[in-house]
Amino acid sequence: MRVGIMGGTFDPIHYGHLVTAEAARVELELDEVVFVPTGDPPHKAYAVTEAKHRYLMTVLATLTNPYFSVSRVDMDRDGKTYTIDTLRDLRTVYGPEVELFFITGADAILEILTWKNPEELLRTCVFVAASRPGHSLDRLQEVLGELYTNNKDRIRLLQVPALAISSTDVRERVASGRPIRYLLPETVAYYIAKAGLYREHNSGSVGHNTTEDPVTD
């Protein structure tokens, strides 16, 4: 069995996330893609929206795809959320025989593999670097050095359609009253409106001082 893991804040989830997950499922012949909304991410430069909202939006966005599911593993863990903890927990859930693929943006992989326990991360799963068509892994090799050289078979490049959608832009559009239609599923847009998320008076929901990857933020 081959399982993809799509981690992120999903604040909110958008079509960039969904297209990337589906591309990975088809390209890597995955049996399932599990979306894992982060609990308390340690590296975000803004106050992340309450986990229950991000979880429900992710559930709404993935309902119509039978190969997609959503896990609460990060949300239900106390303390800060680190990728290594997520992968350890999911390895316990799926067992040693299942092959795990962690799907994220190429830029995000550069950050993750310079954080906590990169060697263990690469032993636990294959990392899938999602990038726009025409990009390569050259920068990964340059930045990671021997870590990349020694683990080439554990890092895969996935080229996806050039969707320059980001959660940051969606939040800012909502705050300024601009449309978000066709950037994310209608169910998610309705939830955002119904819950009053990302409005300027909704303290901590909108981040203007952070740069985020358009695939994984």
Q: In which residue are the tokens 């316990």 written? A: 92
Higher pLDDT, 46 or 28: 28
* pTM summary value: 0.87
Q: Are strands 2-8 and 32-37 parallel, antiparallel or unpaired?
A: parallel
Residue 201 belongs to some domain of the structure = no
Residue 214 belongs to some domain of the structure = no
What is the per-residue pLDDT across 106-124, written as a single tens digit (0 to 9) for each? 888 888 887 778 889 999 9
Q: How far apart are CA 200 and CA 213, in angstroms?
A: 23
Residue 26 belongs to some domain of the structure = yes
Count of domains forming the chain: 1
**CA-based nearest residue to 67, from 29, 120, 13, 123:** 29
Q: Identify the pLDDT of residue 134.
A: 67
Whichever domain contains 119, its CATH number is 3.40.50.620
In degrees, rounded to 5, the angle at the alpha carbon of residue 95 between the alpha carbons of residues 76 and 31 is: 90
Phi-psi region of 26 (alpha: psi -120 to 50; beta: other; left: phi over 0): alpha
Residue 202 belongs to some domain of the structure = no
Domain that holds residue 141: 2-195
Residue 189 belongs to some domain of the structure = yes
Residue 208 belongs to some domain of the structure = no
- Kindly tell me if the per-residue pLDDT of 138 is higher than 90: no
Residue 209 belongs to some domain of the structure = no
Identity at 50, one-letter amino acid code: E
**CA-based nearest residue to 185, from 77, 65, 66:** 65
Residue 99 belongs to some domain of the structure = yes
Q: Identify the pLDDT of residue 100.
A: 97
